[in-house]
């Protein structure tokens, strides 16, 4: 009987010491620093991987664990996520975990809604382009910056007309040329008018 009591006392003392030690250690930790970055973020496509911005109120916070998902449902279920920041246009959902470390307790994870939007192109061209009248068809020069696919579309209009010509002009005159890019999965559509003079 005494052995049982003695064993119980020893175990109780050991457990008490262990509990006090852990409690003391946990009491020495500070709350996880708050995350100061916005929970809704967006940027424009640039052809490179673009991570979300994740900053804490204190610089010495333990490194975050960031996971990207293609849908909110995947995030909630913890499926199909990965650490690589996205590059393509689309909607993403990001889980940011705040692990224990550097003297801070583990914090609750947060969710960031992240959107990579289509970028804009520039149609580079001289606003007025002149050519001598020699009987040959004339085509203006213009280029998309950055280069895109599908290619630019050129529509030629005689002065005052609203219907496009069936082909590039050769006759003397002043023409309006609409240069258009229809857009694609990465870039917004764009258009610009150029004057063509055949003299």
pLDDT digits (tens, 9 = 90+) for 149-187: 999 999 999 998 999 999 999 999 999 999 999 999 999
Distance CA 26, CA 99 (A): 14
Among candidates 108, 104, 14, which has minimal Cα distance to 6?
Answer: 14
What pLDDT is stored for residue 21 in this prediction? 42
Residue spans of the chain under pLDDT 70: 1-27
Question: Of 91, 53, 100, nearest to 70 (Cα)?
Answer: 91
Output the pLDDT for position 28.
83
What structural domains and CATH numbers belong to the chain? 28-117 (2.60.40), 122-198 (2.60.40)
Nearest to 154 by CA among 138, 131, 173, 171: 138
Give the Cα separation of 180 and 184 in Å (integer). 12
pTM of the model: 0.78
């Amino acid at each position: 009987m005494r052995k049982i009591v003695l064993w119980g006392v020893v175990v109780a003392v050991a457990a008490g010491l262990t509990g006090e030690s852990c409690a003391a250690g946990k009491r020495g930790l500070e709350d996880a620093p708050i995350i100061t970055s916005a929970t809704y973020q967006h940027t424009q496509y640039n052809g490179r991987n673009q991570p979300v911005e994740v900053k804490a109120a204190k610089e010495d916070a333990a490194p975050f664990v960031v996971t990207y998902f293609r849908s909110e449902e995947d995030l909630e279920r913890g499926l199909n996520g990965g650490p690589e920041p996205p590059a393509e246009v689309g909607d993403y959902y990001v889980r940011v975990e705040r692990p224990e470390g550097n003297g801070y307790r583990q914090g609750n994870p947060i969710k960031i809604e992240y959107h990579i939007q289509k970028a804009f192109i520039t149609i580079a061209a001289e606003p007025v382009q002149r050519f001598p009248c020699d009987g040959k068809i004339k085509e203006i020069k213009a280029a998309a910056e950055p280069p895109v696919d599908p290619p630019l579309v050129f529509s030629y209009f005689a002065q005052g007309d609203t219907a496009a010509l069936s082909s590039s002009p050769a006759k003397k005159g002043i023409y309006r040329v609409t240069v258009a890019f229809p857009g694609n999965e990465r870039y917004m559509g764009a258009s610009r008018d150029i004057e063509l003079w055949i003299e």
